[in-house]
């Protein structure tokens, strides 16, 4: 197991507990009692409730409602937002998470085409609210976040480093730590440095307009970036998002209300959506 820099009060242990709870909720159904879930996890109800309250800010019973398989459809029905209005809402300071995105810039198309040649990228493993996270960044900001709870650490590392094969990768978690702390809940700024093709960056910029706790669809994103027929290409760009969570590709759903895919595993996507909805309520 790779040594990881901890994020205070946001340990991967809490995510591991929550990940097991997702499976139990699916298996036992939404009517399962707190005592039943706690017993299945070899915990006392009090201990189980305390862990979840620390992690998400609401009781396990309330959080359980956000973990049900129908939650994505409920989000789309009740919390769908059009990107035209989300720009004013999401980036105006109403959500602290979106305040982070006031500082971002993108690599030039020419530099992107050279696959990171001449670029030094720093990396480190950190504990996060959603399990172990591999974070990469340049001198300008975070350029990658990968979650390994489902994919595994080796696959996550190969994925992010393989995107920019000509770059020089240097392990230096301390350089990244202040940004990571900000990204996962502390004060301060977490600047982003987007490395991608121009079309991808348009899609990622649209994703950053979706307020926390709300969702949109791939077709809505295609409309917002001026390519209404490019729904499939939008889906591909969403899936290639290198900065998970901060560029919230988890908030993009199918028009039917289905979760769609998620690069780091659907359980992680469900967990993030539930975490945001519950914390927004709290």
pLDDT tens track for 64-88: 666 654 555 666 666 666 555 544 4
pLDDT of 9 higher than 50: no
Does residue 143 carry a catalytic annotation? no
Least confident span in 48-57, 100-109, 144-153, 260-269: 100-109
- Report the alpha-carbon distance of residue 90 to residue 274 in Å, rounded: 18
Region 101-108: what's the mean pLDDT?
A: 58
CB 253 within 8 A of CB 42: no
Candidates 100, 149, 249, 259; catalytic one: 249
- Report the alpha-carbon distance of residue 51 to residue 112 in Å, rounded: 43
Global pTM reads 0.79
pLDDT tens track for 127-162: 888 889 999 999 999 999 999 988 899 999 999 999
Of the pLDDT bands very low, low, confident and very high (cuts 50, 70, 90), residue 96 is very low
- Copy the structure tokens of residue 59: 């009781």
- What is the strand order of the sheet 168-171 is part of? 104-106, 192-194, 142-147, 131-137, 120-128, 168-171
Mean pLDDT value across the chain: 79
Of the pLDDT bands very low, low, confident and very high (cuts 50, 70, 90), residue 1 is very low
Region 218-236: what's the mean pLDDT?
A: 91
């Amino acid at each position: 197991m790779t040594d990881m820099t901890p994020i205070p009060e946001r340990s991967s242990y809490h995510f591991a507990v929550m990940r097991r709870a997702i499976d139990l909720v699916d298996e036992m159904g939404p009517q399962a009692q707190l005592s039943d879930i706690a017993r299945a996890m070899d915990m006392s109800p009090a201990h189980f409730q305390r862990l979840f309250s620390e992690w998400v800010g609401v009781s396990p019973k309330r959080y359980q409602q956000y973990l049900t398989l129908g939650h994505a459809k409920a989000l789309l029905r009740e919390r769908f937002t059009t990107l035209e209005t989300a720009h004013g809402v999401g980036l105006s300071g109403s959500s602290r998470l979106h305040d982070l995105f006031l500082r971002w810039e993108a690599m030039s198309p020419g530099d992107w085409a050279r696959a990171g040649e001449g670029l030094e990228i720093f990396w480190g493993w950190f504990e996060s609210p959603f399990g172990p996270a591999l974070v990469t960044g340049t001198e300008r900001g975070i350029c990658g976040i990968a979650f390994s709870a489902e994919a595994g650490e080796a696959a996550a590392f190969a994925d992010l480093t393989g995107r920019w094969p000509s770059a020089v990768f240097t392990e230096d978690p301390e350089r990244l730590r202040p940004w990571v702390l900000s990204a996962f809940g502390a004060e301060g700024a977490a600047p982003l440095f987007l490395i991608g093709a121009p079309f991808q960056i348009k899609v990622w910029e649209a994703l950053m307009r979706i307020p926390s706790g709300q969702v949109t669809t791939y077709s809505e994103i295609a409309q917002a970036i001026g390519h209404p027929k490019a729904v499939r290409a939008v889906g591909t760009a969403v899936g290639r998002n290198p900065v998970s969570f901060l560029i919230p590709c988890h908030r993009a759903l199918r028009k039917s209300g289905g979760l769609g895919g998620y690069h780091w595993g659907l359980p992680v996507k469900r967990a993030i959506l539930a975490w945001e909805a519950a914390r927004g309520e709290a």
